[in-house]
Amino acid sequence: MKAFIKHIATYFPEKSLSNQEISERFPEWDSEKIIQKIGVRNRFNSGEDEFVSDMATKVSEKLFSENNFDRSSVDFVLLCTQSPDYYLPTTACIVQNNLGLRNDIGALDFNQGCSGFVYGLSLAKGLIVAGIAKNVLLITAETYTKHIHKEDKGNLSIFGDAAAATIISTDGLYEINEFSLGTDGSGAQNLIVKNGGIKNPKTDDSLIDSGNYLFMDGTEVFNFTIKNVPILIKENLAKNNLEMKQVDQFIFHQANTFMLNYLRKRIGIEPEKFIIDMENCGNTVSSTIPIVLKNLIENKNNKEKILITGFGVGYSWGATVLTQSND
């Protein structure tokens, strides 16, 4: 049994945050400086009363509508998020109810960040190949901006909120091939919201370094990335019996343009085979890769072989190759 990406839909909240607005709040942080350092002009922020279950529901409804897809054929819901509505129940169960999906299906959350879409594809493929499901609804949804302190101009500039819904099925647009996955928990403290769980409850402290907000050690995350991603690409090419020149397109997690360009040059990827597509939405965490894929499909710019890779919080990383279906 093979597994394929069949449909993709994306969703962005109504509220946007431009570089100009950020510069007005932080005069030393010039609008052009942001685009030069990060590669983002605009990003979206979830509404005050808009949460992951809302965004996941909206993007799934959009997927069903745009593709005339019968929701009753969904056998499993996988929801990737690091900003769930509650500790429990799992947000995927709330989304199942919101969407009016069948009761004889599975639904679960998994807590993963920038490698989340790749990990989600691996889980979905496992369900398909094992015969447990025929149609998996994979949702990536984040309200990351709710984790960011209002005075943290760096992370406010980088991250945006978004959601993507993908149907993985027994047929479709792109066959999902072999995976390479990795984990190194020694880097957990370098990208973390320290407070808010059972171990460290959220405090009343509103300081930027209180532990209540997103902390990212940019230097350490960068060093982790440039060390592990080139090895990951080499490993995954070998697993899929491919050489670099046989890949038509490389889609990396859209972290920031400086990092992406550095990786492209270090790995030796030709510029025309490498996509940077984050200027108008920022780093949307687990949704960056499906957003780029959706844009490729919409622009009828499908490629025969695409290598996708995600990397980040955990640390975690993953890659796979997508092959265009001939059906």
**pTM (two decimals):** 0.96
Which of 7, 114, 135, 212 is catalytic? The answer is 114
What confidence score (pLDDT) does residue 208 get?
87
Which of 177, 190, 253, 256 is catalytic? The answer is 253
Q: Is 80 one of the annotated active-site residues of the chain?
A: no
Q: Is 253 one of the annotated active-site residues of the chain?
A: yes
What is the CATH class of 178-324? alpha beta
Q: Is 149 one of the annotated active-site residues of the chain?
A: no
What confidence score (pLDDT) does residue 327 get?
66
Report the 3 state secondary structure along the chain: CCCEEEEEEEECCCCEEEHHHHHHHCCCCCHHHHHHHCCCCEEECCCCCCCHHHHHHHHHHHHHHHHCCCHHHCCEEEEECCCCCCCCCCHHHHHHHHHCCCCCCEEEEECCCCCHHHHHHHHHHHHHHCCCCCEEEEEEEECHHHHCCCCCHHHHHHECCEEEEEEEECCCCEEEEEEEEEECHHHHHHEEECCCCCCCCCCCCCCCCCCCCEEECHHHHHHHHHHHHHHHHHHHHHHCCCCHHHCCEEEECCCCHHHHHHHHHHHCCCHHHECCCCCCCCECHHHHHHHHHHHHHHCCCCCCEEEEEEEECCCEEEEEEEEECCC
Domain ranges of the chain: 4-172, 178-324
Which of 45, 177, 236, 283 is catalytic? The answer is 283
> In the CATH hierarchy, which fold is given to the domain comprising 4-172?
Peroxisomal Thiolase; Chain A, domain 1 (3.40.47)
121-126 average pLDDT score = 98
Which segment of 52-66, 266-280, 298-312 scores lowest on mean pLDDT? 298-312
Mean per-residue pLDDT of the chain: 96
pLDDT (tens digit, 9 = 90+) per residue, 149-202? 999 999 999 999 999 999 999 999 999 999 999 999 999 999 999 999 999 999
pLDDT reading at 300 higher than 90: no
What confidence score (pLDDT) does residue 99 get?
98
Residue 243 pLDDT class (50, 70, 90 cuts): very high
